[in-house]
């Protein structure tokens, strides 16, 4: 077997890369270890930066996004019983859109298959050769080798691509808390996302659709889901979202719940010879800043441009700069996500001094146009260039 670009991982990063390359006549094969049903139905958040929605629309996979996505022009910070709106569009001229990652994957799978793309589910990659580029994988009971010009590792944090890069330098931070996330069949209690900082812990009210709400609670990393019946979840959410003006939280049947640990992680460089890392294979951010999916999209957009330059012009200038270009954006997103996380979460180890500093910072962000503008610029996403 041979192709131009072998793509390891059939999540949004790998599928989008394959789609972008196809539009320029560059052949690829996508190898995904899970089956199609798993890939299309695993629950992931979907807060899309302006740049991400632009890429999806311009590449021709934005029809359902435009029809079903929920465009947001602001968000709300809530602390001390009061609400503070961050007017994203007024401050930046840009928007964010709620559209679940699950739906993006469905759209991309459908497009790649309709275009005759080679997407192989239940294809377990067992070896990557980044120098004489090839990928060996197990599929339908046989072991095969896919030779290629380049390999794109888009297979997530636990994938096989990153271990194939020798001499990586890694940076990591573990957090002393996690998120208990729930899906509920109830109309959202808000038109815009609510980020709540409370002495009992952080809470987030997001929206999945006009009839489905996505909510999160800060909990311990080893929290037992059995200790969180629906009644306790709704009671705790109501306490953390409470305001002095009597705002009410809508309650309804909870259809899904899970505990997600939080970490920051970066691996450098994002390239070794003919192997390029993208998305969660190279970096992880805490979800507070809503950057994970958006970083993956920016990575593969930059990589697609570099590969197109290579095949159309014979130049490797953009390929040579890929890692440095991506990492500048990655570290900005890492800092913003860390900043949002430490600003809003209750640190179990914090003393009274640290808690007062945190509250002072929240007051400053809530009352300063300059601070709100900085938050807004980072939240809607800095320009890809």
Same domain, 163 and 180: no
Same domain, 161 and 213: no
The edge-to-edge listing of strands for the beta sheet with 75-79 is: 82-86, 75-79, 194-196, 203-209, 212-219, 169-184, 254-268, 283-284
In a domain, 75, yes or no: no
Question: Which pLDDT score is estimated for 90?
Answer: 98
In a domain, 217, yes or no: yes
Q: How far apart are CA 255 and CA 122, in angstroms?
A: 27
In a domain, 187, yes or no: yes
Q: How far apart are CA 167 and CA 151, in angstroms?
A: 18
In a domain, 93, yes or no: no
Same domain, 290 and 332: yes
- pTM recorded for the entire structure: 0.95
Question: Which pLDDT score is estimated for 41?
Answer: 86
CATH number of the domain bearing residue 306: 3.50.50.60
Same domain, 247 and 291: no
CATH number of the domain bearing residue 219: 3.30.9.10
Task: Write the CB contacts of 328 (distance below 8 Å, at least 6 apart in sequence).
Answer: none
Question: Which pLDDT score is estimated for 44?
Answer: 72
Show the tokens assigned to 80: 């001390």
Integer angstrom CA distances of residue 275 from 40, 209, 313, 348: 26, 38, 20, 41
Q: How far apart are CA 337 and CA 339, in angstroms?
A: 5
Same domain, 147 and 163: yes
Is the CB of residue 280 less than 8 Å from the CB of residue 299? no
Same domain, 182 and 157: no
Q: How far apart are CA 345 and CA 281, in angstroms?
A: 26
Give the domain extent around 364.
175-262+347-380
CB contact burial 166-194 (16+ within 10 A = b; e otherwise):
eebeeeeeebebbbbbbbbebebbbebbb
Q: How far apart are the two ends of the chain, measured CA to CA in Å?
A: 36
CA 281 to chain CA centroid, Å, is: 12
Q: What is the CA radius of gyration of the chain?
A: 21
Same domain, 109 and 194: no
In a domain, 84, yes or no: no
In a domain, 82, yes or no: no
Could you give the residue numbers annotated as active site? 72, 195, 287, 291, 379
Same domain, 160 and 271: yes
Same domain, 159 and 247: no
Q: How many domains does the chain divide into?
A: 2
In a domain, 79, yes or no: no
Which residues of the chain register pLDDT less than 50?
none
Same domain, 186 and 286: no
Same domain, 226 and 199: yes
Same domain, 107 and 65: yes
In a domain, 20, yes or no: yes
Integer angstrom CA distances of residue 102 from 16, 39, 48, 79, 357: 13, 8, 13, 31, 38
Question: Which pLDDT score is estimated for 46?
Answer: 82
- What DSSP state is assigned to residue 185? S
């Amino acid at each position: 077997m041979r192709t131009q670009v072998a793509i390891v991982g059939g999540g949004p990063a790998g599928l989008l890369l394959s789609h972008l390359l196809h539009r320029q006549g560059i052949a690829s094969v996508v190898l995904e270890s899970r089956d199609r049903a798993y890939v299309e139905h695993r629950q992931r958040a979907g807060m899309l930066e302006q740049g991400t929605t632009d890429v999806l629309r311009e590449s021709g996979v934005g029809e359902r996004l435009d029809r079903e996505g929920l465009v947001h022009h602001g968000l709300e910070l809530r602390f001390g019983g009061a609400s503070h709106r961050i007017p994203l569009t007024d401050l930046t001229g840009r928007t964010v859109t709620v559209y679940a990652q699950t739906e993006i994957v469905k759209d991309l799978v459908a497009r790649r298959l309709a275009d005759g793309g080679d997407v192989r589910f239940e294809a377990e990659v067992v070896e990557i050769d980044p120098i004489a580029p090839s990928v060996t994988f197990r599929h339908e009971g046989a072991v095969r080798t896919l030779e290629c010009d380049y390999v794109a590792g888009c297979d997530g944090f636990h994938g096989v691509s990153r271990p194939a890069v020798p001499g990586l330098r890694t940076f990591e931070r573990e957090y002393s808390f996690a998120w208990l996330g729930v899906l509920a069949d109830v109309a959202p209690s808000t038109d815009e996302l609510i980020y709540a900082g409370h002495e009992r812990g952080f809470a987030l009210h997001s929206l999945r659709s006009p009839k489905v709400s996505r909510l999160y609670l800060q909990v311990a990393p080893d929290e037992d889901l059995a200790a969180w019946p629906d009644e306790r979840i709704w009671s705790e959410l109501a306490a953390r979202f409470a305001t002095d003006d009597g705002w009410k939280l809508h309650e309804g049947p909870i259809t899904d719940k899970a505990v997600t640990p939080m970490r920051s992680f970066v691996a450098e460089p994002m390239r070794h010879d003919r192997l390029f890392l993208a998305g969660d294979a190279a970096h992880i951010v805490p979800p507070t800043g809503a950057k994970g999916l958006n970083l993956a999209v920016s990575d593969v957009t930059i990589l697609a441009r570099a590969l197109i330059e290579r095949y159309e012009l014979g130049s490797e200038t953009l390929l040579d700069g890929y890692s440095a270009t991506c990492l500048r954006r990655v570290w900005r997103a890492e800092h913003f996500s860390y900043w949002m996380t430490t600003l809003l979460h209750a640190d179990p180890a914090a003393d009274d001094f640290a808690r007062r500093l945190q509250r002072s910072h929240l007051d400053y962000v809530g009352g300063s146009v300059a601070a709100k503008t900085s938050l807004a610029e980072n939240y809607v996403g800095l320009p890809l260039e």
